[in-house]
Each structure stands twice: as structure tokens, then as C-alpha cells.
Amino acid sequence: MQGEWCFDINLPVKHENLTCFSLSTHSPHSTGLLTMVVSTVMEGK
């Protein structure tokens, strides 16, 4: 999976400060973590 993602690393603290970074990894754990974070963001709004 390769692409650029923007999401708040300090999710429980701030929702407006988004951190953008390039995601290019072969590790499936990164995708799972990203999905979990995105889901948390969706539920938080």
C-alpha cells in the first residue's frame, strides 16, 4: 500500500491538528493501525 495520509497522531488530545505523512510500507500492521485510527476519527465526529 502506498499513499499519503493525514490524521491526528494525538487523537485523544487534538482533532484539529492533523499530521500528514507518506505511507509506503510492506507491513500489514501499518494498514491495520491506520484503519483503526481512521475509524476512531470517524466515531469521534
- Reply yes or no on whether the pLDDT at 43 is more than 60: yes
CA triplet 31, 2, 44: central angle to 5 degrees?
45
C-alpha cell at 16: 484539529
pLDDT value of position 2: 47
- What confidence score (pLDDT) does residue 23 get? 42
Per residue in 10-42, pLDDT (tens digit) is: 444 444 444 444 344 444 555 556 666 666 666
The pLDDT value recorded for residue 34 is: 64
